[in-house]
């Protein structure tokens, strides 16, 4: 049998005429260019098939697929979440569950939900109850999306929108449910904890690309909720200067630190960075990740901060924080303690709060 043909650049705008094999071959070729492919080869080999399954799911709804699938965005979302996807799959497959128990995955600040969409296709439904996609931009559960909302039609289809002839909700192997929550609103967060953190089985709390102080909110959720077995956090941008100007002290559990140590002015505008040099910002970001790691309550948990080079071309948001309440899952931690750090791109790790990456961290504890 001949190898599937990889589509040419001239055909990229006509992806609707590709066969599934051609589409998968194209995605596979793109992913093999990434250094992280060498660290998670089995996961990277399965990703093209998963993305192809999405394409098949939305066949006949070209506008939805065009809105959902932008190659650079989807592959970036997968690559930057790959270490977490790998760890979560190992956890789910290795954990001994009691009768009637299933995992529940809570995906904070999920955006369109690409991470949970990958997990739904990868994880066994008999071991995972559902993924709950939490974001303040979802519509209310009983109202149609408006222009300023994230459109959830790719999650629900006709289950929530009778104008769509397909019920996508029932097609997800692990069910996906959305939840509209503003993580900066304490009342909404408290209500969320009452609704979502009560589960007959362990909870996985995952938070990728959390901007500013939302990362603090994620750590607090793990610390407050002992039902949370596993925690994954990949911080995004730094807290804004308003916290430093107020001379605020951030407090996480028994760890505290001055906001001025981690706050930074600057923003992206039309694809260009307006702010301090990235070398400066990188040092602040590493310090921010160190403080967040120190703030994770490890009285009954194991934690780690790893530098994994998922961002290239000057990107510095390569810090991954993971924690598991005891007992440890051996298959997860053996992999996490592997010396490789993202395609041989340098980096390191700190375990159980013994942070060494950035100067001055821990002095304010």
What's the mean pLDDT in 86-93? 98
Alpha helix ranges (H) inside 9-70: 20-31, 41-57, 62-68
How many Å from the N-terminal Cα to the C-terminal Cα in the chain? 63
d(CA 181, CA 191): 9
What's CA 114's distance to the chain center, in Å? 8
Instruction: Return the pLDDT at 13.
Output: 45
Task: Using alpha carbons, list the distances in angstroms from residue 230 to 69, 141, 252.
Answer: 29, 27, 18
| pLDDT for the residue 362 | 43
For the beta carbon of residue 69, count every other beta carbon within 10 angstroms: 16
Check residue 32 and give its pLDDT.
Answer: 96
Residue-wise pLDDT tens digits, 270-319: 777 777 887 888 899 999 999 999 999 999 999 999 999 898 766 788 99
pLDDT at 220 over 60: yes
pLDDT digits (tens, 9 = 90+) for 315-332: 788 999 999 999 999 999
Q: What is the mean pLDDT of the chain?
A: 88
pLDDT for 344 beyond 70: no
pLDDT confidence of 114, banded at 50, 70, 90? very high
Q: Provide the percentage of residues in the chain whose pLDDT is more than 90.
A: 73
* Average pLDDT over every residue of 176-205: 96
The predicted pLDDT at position 88 comes to 98
Whether residue 259 contacts residue 246, with contact meaning beta carbons closer than 8 Å, is answered with: yes
Indicate whether 112 pLDDT > 60: yes
Q: Which of 182-191, 263-272, 351-360 has maximum average pLDDT?
A: 182-191
What confidence tens digit (pLDDT) does each residue in 116-146 have?
Answer: 999 999 999 999 999 999 999 999 987 888 9
Which residues, including other chains, have CB under 8 Å from residue 197's CB and lie 6 or more apart?
A: 106, 203, 225, 227, 228
pLDDT band at residue 198 under the 50/70/90 scheme: confident
350, 290 in Cβ contact below 8 A? yes
pLDDT at 18 over 70: yes
> pLDDT value at position 5?
52
Least confident residue range of 9-18, 41-50, 123-132, 224-233: 9-18
CA distance 284 to 83: 23
What integer pLDDT is reported at residue 267 of this predicted model? 76
Task: Kindly state the DSSP code that residue 237 receives in the 8-state scheme.
Answer: S
Q: Give the dihedral sign, CA 338/344/348/349.
A: negative
Contact indicator for 107, 232 with CB cutoff of 8 Å:
no
Phi and psi torsions of 255, nearest 5°? -105, 135
- How many Cα atoms occupy the beta-carbon half-sphere of 120 within 13 Å? 25
Q: Rounded mean pLDDT of 87-111?
A: 97
- Kindly report which listed range (13-22, 33-42, 325-334, 354-363) carries the lowest average pLDDT score: 354-363
């Amino acid at each position: 049998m001949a190898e599937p043909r990889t589509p040419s650049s001239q055909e990229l705008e006509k992806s609707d005429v590709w066969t599934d094999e051609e589409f998968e071959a194209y995605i596979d070729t793109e992913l093999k260019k990434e250094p992280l492919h060498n660290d998670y080869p089995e996961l990277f080999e399965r990703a093209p098939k998963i993305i192809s399954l999405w394409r098949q799911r939305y066949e006949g709804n070209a506008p939805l697929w065009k809105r959902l699938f932008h190659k650079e965005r989807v592959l970036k979302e997968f690559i930057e979440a790959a270490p977490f996807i790998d760890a979560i799959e190992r956890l789910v497959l290795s954990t001994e569950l009691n009768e009637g128990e299933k995992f529940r995955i809570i995906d904070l600040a999920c955006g369109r939900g690409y991470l949970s969409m990958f997990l739904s296709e990868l994880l066994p439904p008999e071991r995972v109850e559902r993924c709950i996609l939490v974001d303040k931009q979802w519509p209310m559960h009983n109202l149609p999306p408006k222009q300023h909302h994230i459109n959830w039609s790719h999650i629900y289809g006709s289950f929530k929108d009778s104008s769509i002839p397909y019920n996508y909700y029932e097609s997800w192997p692990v069910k996906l449910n959305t939840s509209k929550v503003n993580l900066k609103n304490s009342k909404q967060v408290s209500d969320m904890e009452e609704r979502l953190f009560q589960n007959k089985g362990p909870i996985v709390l995952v938070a990728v690309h959390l901007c500013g102080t939302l990362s603090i909110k994620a750590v607090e959720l793990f610390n407050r909720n002992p039902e949370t077995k596993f925690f994954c956090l990949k911080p995004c941008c730094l807290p804004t200067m308003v916290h430093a100007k107020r001379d605020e002290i951030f407090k996480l559990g028994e760890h505290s630190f001055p906001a001025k140590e981690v706050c930074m002015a600057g923003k992206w505008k039309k694809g260009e960075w307006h702010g301090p040099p990235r070398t400066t910002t990188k040092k602040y970001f590493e310090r921010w990740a160190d403080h967040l790691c120190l703030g994770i309550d490890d009285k009954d948990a194991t934690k780690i901060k790893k530098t994994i080079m998922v961002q290239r071309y000057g990107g510095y948001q390569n810090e991954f924080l993971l924690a598991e309440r005891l007992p440890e899952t051996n298959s997860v931690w053996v992999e996490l303690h592997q010396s490789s750090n993202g395609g041989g791109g340098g980096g390191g790790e700190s375990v159980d709060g013994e942070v060494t990456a950035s100067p001055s961290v821990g002095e304010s504890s």
